[in-house]
Amino acid sequence: MEITASLVKELREKTGVGMMDCKKALKETDGDVDLSIEYLRKKGIATAQKRGGRTTSEGQVQAYIHAGGKIGVLVEVNCETDFSGKTEDFDQFVKDVAMQIAATDPMAIDRDNIPSDILDKEKEIYATQAKESGKPEKIIDKIVEGKMKKFYSETVLLEQAYVKNPDLTVTDRLNEVIAKTGENIVIRRFARYQLGESDG
């Protein structure tokens, strides 16, 4: 199938990926735009993993105030160069991450930052629930594993469904931005304040 310029343009507009990559994706998928988007997303993840070790010391800190001043978020997102840190795509991504944190109240950016005592407590609760509901001993570990997966998808920022497109996780969206900018990008830290909440 002939890959037309208008097809490349359409894919480029949908993904924000460079022209040559769009052309290659369309060739790989016989001009199927939906399959090309999937192809590019997978490639973006691979590209993101390759860039994972590169230093990120530029970027932005953004503030987001929600619900008439009742919830406030500060988030720092880093990239490799000052140039990328000032682009509209990067700026929008940081704003979206701040909004995500305000809406979903994650416990941590990734699994490694959830205290082990909290994880142990969760596992214990799920195991007890499974035992008390009469589940056989041999499947309790599987049940706990499934419940922990759900727990992570709700409490870990990178594993949450992305609020602007629930078909993606925050990691998927991050990988798209990495593929688009060609730089390693890291969500470094955040603080979320809710009016009337105590620090305990």
Mind listing the domains of the chain with CATH numbers? Answer: 5-51 (1.10.8.10), 58-110+156-194 (3.30.479.20), 115-154 (1.10.286)
DSSP state at residue 22: H
pLDDT value for 50:
57
pLDDT value for 36:
87
| CA gap 171, 200 in Å, rounded | 29
pLDDT value for 194:
92
Contacts of 105 (CB under 8 A, 6+ apart): 192, 194
pLDDT value for 172:
92
* Mean pLDDT split into 10-residue runs, the chain, 200 residues: 83 72 87 86 62 71 89 94 88 95 95 92 93 88 93 96 94 90 90 80
| Cβ atoms 190, 74 nearer than 8 A | yes
DSSP state at residue 2: -
